[in-house]
Amino acid sequence: MTVAYAVLGVYLLLLFALAIWSRRETESLKGYYLAGKKLPYWVVAFSTNATGASGWFMIGLTGMGYAVGIQAFWVVLGQVTGIWLSWRIVSRRLKRFADRHDAITVPDVLAAPFAGRASAIRIVAVAIILIMVTTYVTAQMVASGKAMSTFLAIDYRHAVLASAVVIIAYTFVGGYKAVSYTDVLQGAMMLAGLVVVPIVGIHAAGGIAQMLEALRSADPALLSPTGQGGVAGWVVALSFAAIGLPYLGVPQLMLRYMSARDEGELRKARTVSVAVLLAFGVGAVLTGMAGRVLFPGLDDSETVFPRMAEALFPPLVTGVLIVVVLAAIMSTVDSLLLLASSAVVRDGMQKLLRSRRADADLARLGKLATLMIGILGVIFAVPEAQFIFWFVLFSWSGLGAAFGPPVLAILYDPRVTANGVVAGMLGGFLTSVGWVLFAKSATFGLYEAIPGFAVGLIMAIAVSRLGSARDAE
């Protein structure tokens, strides 16, 4: 246990060193929220993956591999396909558009062409971001509490508070630049962990063949691509594959594209990003499958990675793996805090309320907003919740369905209108949330991003066309 604390201490020192190194970039809004739009491709690639993968991979997807076996590979397929499409059809167009309009946030991008209706767009966008980010941050704080309490045998509430203090502190001090460079460190550690742990786990289970045979004996559905089969099995498979759909619009990833030095860096980042995300996903599912053989009957499948790390490795490596899990969680929470903070300060105070404060003053207020939003996430996370996988999916789909359709419309449809953008956001968001509340259980668990994204895109296009037709009359 002493070794684990020592490794954790070294890691935290590295984080704070990066935060202090990044401080000079935080004296303006563009610096605090986008690192001055000067990041190289390798930082953009790893930051994109670390932000999208997070504790959801280390805790949630490993737990899903434990619970459903190879059916979880549909998630990997969807994630890799989604991020590849995002790099291909969104990244460079968005970067070009954002630079042309001097955009710092995604609401900036959506409002840019519509000076007369910009306020309505920002109000809707800010409300959705704050609602979904609160849920998302809470889920990640829960994941950090689970990981630390399992690894270090400390009280769950203390674990949540400790991890929150660290994340909020370095994000507060170093802003987006610190977040992005710590994402590189965190992403590299995640990659190492999701390569080493499944290899050792499969070896401990007797090799691939013996692991698969043990899974078949435990439950043949664990080796079926559609689980129990039938309509429900195929709906689950489709839903898992559609988890990659929000990559086309979640704001925390759109900001990665906007922060790149230039479009050339984005082309190079794409290859690195897709390859690393594939390794993340395969490693996470195989970890869960090996864990099902080694530790059958876990009360909480989402503790399988911490349990394997503790049981299969010497103390020094276990300490490193503790840090890997925490790194995965931190790499998403820090980005979400900045996303919500920018919505409050840039979109709310500067654009909606037309604050006349100097840019440096607003940047300082952005730091305070980051602190307050982080504290709110901790308050909601202290009562421990199960099923991080589903909590994160709810937030992920809500953001993706709300922002993916209007972002695509802005970038590809010259006839899109302000009303169309608002309708796309509301249609996607409300359909996604409503589906979870009222329709999901009656549709074999169909993933809410599918109807949400579809409705959002249809609304954005249809309302824009209706407005254009009226204008033509």
Q: What is the pLDDT of residues 80-134, one digit of tens each?
A: 999 999 999 999 999 999 999 999 999 999 999 998 889 999 999 999 999 888 8
**Each residue's pLDDT tens digit, 302-315:** 889 988 988 999 88
- Please say whether the beta carbons of 291 and 59 come within 8 A: no
Residues 6+ apart with CB under 8 A from 445: 232, 235, 236, 239
Q: How far apart are CA 112 and CA 103, in angstroms?
A: 8
Confidence (pLDDT) at 420: 96
Phi, psi of 360 (to 5 degrees): -65, -40
Q: How confident is the model at residue 425 (pLDDT cuts 50, 70, 90)?
A: very high
**Does residue 398 fall inside a structural domain?**
no
Averaging pLDDT over each range in 43-57, 151-165, 241-255, 391-405, which range is the top one?
Answer: 241-255
Would you tell me how many other CB atoms lie within 10 Å of the CB of residue 353? Answer: 9
Q: How far apart are CA 276 and CA 55, in angstroms?
A: 16
**Does residue 428 fall inside a structural domain?**
no
The tokens describing 165, both together, are 């203090």
**Does residue 226 fall inside a structural domain?**
yes
**Does residue 173 fall inside a structural domain?**
yes
Would you tell me how many other CB atoms lie within 10 Å of the CB of residue 320? Answer: 21
Q: Which amino acid is at 182?
A: T
Q: How confident is the model at residue 468 (pLDDT cuts 50, 70, 90)?
A: low
What are the helix and strand counts (H, E) for the chain? 19, 0
Would you tell me how many other CB atoms lie within 10 Å of the CB of residue 88? Answer: 11
DSSP letter for each residue of 294-340: HSTT-S-GGGHHHHHHHHHS-HHHHHHHHHHHHHHHHHHHHHHHHHH
3-state SS of the chain: helix, strand, coil percent to 5?
85, 0, 15
- Please say whether the beta carbons of 460 and 409 come within 8 A: yes
**Does residue 144 fall inside a structural domain?**
yes
**Does residue 418 fall inside a structural domain?**
no
Q: How far apart are CA 162 and CA 159, in angstroms?
A: 5
Provide the domain limits for residue 66.
Answer: 2-389
Q: Which of 88-97, 168-177, 250-259, 287-296 has the lowest mean pLDDT?
A: 168-177
Q: Which amino acid is at 362?
A: L
**Does residue 401 fall inside a structural domain?**
no
Q: Which CATH number belongs to the domain containing residue 82 in this structure?
A: 1.20.1730.10
**Does residue 268 fall inside a structural domain?**
yes
Residue 411 has pLDDT above 80, yes or no: yes
Would you tell me how many other CB atoms lie within 10 Å of the CB of residue 44? Answer: 28
Q: Which amino acid is at 69?
A: G
Number of domains in the chain: 1
Q: Quick one: DSSP state of residue 219?
A: -
What is the average pLDDT score of the chain? 88
pTM listed for this prediction: 0.89
